């Protein structure tokens, strides 16, 4: 399994010939190395409905005939736009041909903003994602604050790689993310959701150096790990 980071919270997983993207915010993402029109996605996993996470999902899904997996309300909203969407919800897991997806709690908001209509569309509860394939488990926390049930994730799941937001203001900051890393107990921890906008600028290297449980790793856009 190859896992790569592409700025903000965009993660790509390559497993068994399948290209899986998590939260493909590409257009408007000033720190990504990708171009949406040249990016192949077979599957798109979404944590919640904010524009900087849904990103290019509709266009990419239609162009590539990709399956979109998302919390129920968000999946329904995207389905109305002609996307092939599989709905799930927190605590639920499903075994797909490409791997197992389980949605976890996340404490945040979830709504899609239609700026041209000055309209906010509620898209259900936000989630984190536990993805398992090839005997490896990747945890993408989505956007979230610190919450004590993260201890249960570490207790019941052997997590090889965790992506944790550190940007503060909208999500956990570095201090809370360090606590989350300790509770989750992942073998490798990668910070995400930082430096895309001035309000979430953080020193990722300083965070990674302080990770005590597992190895803190900073990935630049385009960098990949092999699990």
Mean pLDDT across the chain = 98
Residue 71: name the closest of 46, 52, 105, 96 by CA.
Answer: 46
pLDDT of residue 138: 98
**What pLDDT was estimated at residue 56?**
98
Q: What is the pLDDT of residue 186?
A: 98
Count of domains forming the chain: 1
**Any domain includes 149:** yes
Q: How sure is the predictor about 223, in pLDDT bands with cuts at 50, 70 and 90? A: very high
Q: Which residue has the tokens 């990770």?
A: 211
**Residue 71 domain flag:** yes
Question: What are the backbone angles phi and psi of residue 73, rounded to the nearest 5°?
Answer: -65, -40
Determine how many CB atoms are found less than 10 A away from the CB of residue 179.
14
C-alpha to C-alpha distance for 12 and 1, rounded to whole angstroms? 10
Closest CA to 135 of 227, 43, 45, 215: 227
183-196 per-position pLDDT tens digit: 999 999 999 999 99
What interhelical angle do 72-79 and 57-64 show, nearest 10?
60
Q: Compute, in degrees rounded to 10, the torsion defined by CA atoms 150, 154, 158, 160.
A: 60
Domain-embedded: residue 186: yes
Specify the pLDDT at position 97: 96
pTM of the model as a whole: 0.98
N- to C-terminal Cα distance for the chain? 5
Question: In the numeric block, which tokens belong to residue 148?
Answer: 């004590």
What would you report as the CA-atom Rg of the chain, rounded to the nearest whole angstrom? 16
Q: What is the pLDDT of residues 45-58, one digit of tens each?
A: 999 999 999 999 99
Starting at the edge strand that comes first in sequence, how are the strands of the sheet with 43-45 ordered?
A: 84-88, 67-71, 43-45, 18-22, 11-15, 2-5, 224-226
Confidence category of residue 158, pLDDT binned at 50, 70, 90: very high
Question: Does residue 227 belong to any structural domain of this protein?
Answer: no
Res. 142 pLDDT band, cuts 50 70 90: very high
- Flag whether 109 is in a domain: yes
161-181 confidence digits (pLDDT tens): 999 999 999 999 999 999 999
Q: What is the CATH number of the domain that holds 151?
A: 3.60.15.10
Q: Are 73 and 89 in contact (CB under 8 A)?
A: no
Q: Would you state the pLDDT for residue 190?
A: 98
pLDDT value at position 217? 98
Parent domain of 25:
2-220
Residue 210 — very low, low, confident or very high, per pLDDT cuts 50/70/90?
very high
* 225 occurs within a structural domain: no
Copy the structure tokens of residue 22. 């998590």
Confidence of residue 126 (pLDDT cuts 50, 70, 90): very high
Q: Is 151 exposed, middle or buried (0-12, 13-18, 19+ CB in 10 A)?
A: middle
Mean pLDDT of 126-148: 98
Residue 226 included in any domain: no
Average pLDDT of span 25-47: 97
Q: Is residue 129 part of a domain?
A: yes
Give the model's pLDDT for residue 150: 98
Angle at 142 between CA 137 and CA 143, to 5 degrees: 150
């Amino acid at each position: 399994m190859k896992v790569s980071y592409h700025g903000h919270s965009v993660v790509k997983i390559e497993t068994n010939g399948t290209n899986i993207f998590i939260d493909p915010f590409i257009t408007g993402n000033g720190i990504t190395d990708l171009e949406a029109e040249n990016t192949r996605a077979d599957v798109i996993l979404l944590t919640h409905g904010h524009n900087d996470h849904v990103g290019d999902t509709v266009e990419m899904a239609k162009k590539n005939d990709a399956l979109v997996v998302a919390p129920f309300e968000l999946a329904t909203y995207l389905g109305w736009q002609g996307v092939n969407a599989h709905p799930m919800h927190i605590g639920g897991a499903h075994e797909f041909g490409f791997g197992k997806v389980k949605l976890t709690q996340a404490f945040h908001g979830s709504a899609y903003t239609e700026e041209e209509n000055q309209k906010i569309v509620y898209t259900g509860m936000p989630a984190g994602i536990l993805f398992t394939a090839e005997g490896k488990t990747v945890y993408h926390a989505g956007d979230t604050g610190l919450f004590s049930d993260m201890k249960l994730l570490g207790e019941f799941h052997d997590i090889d790689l965790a992506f944790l937001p550190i940007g503060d203001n909208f999500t956990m900051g570095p201090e809370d993310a360090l606590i989350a890393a300790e509770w989750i107990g992942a073998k490798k921890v990668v910070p995400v959701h930082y430096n895309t906008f001035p309000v979430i600028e953080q020193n990722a290297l300083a965070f990674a150096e302080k990770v005590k449980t597992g190895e803190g790793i900073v990935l630049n856009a385009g960098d990949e790990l092999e699990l």
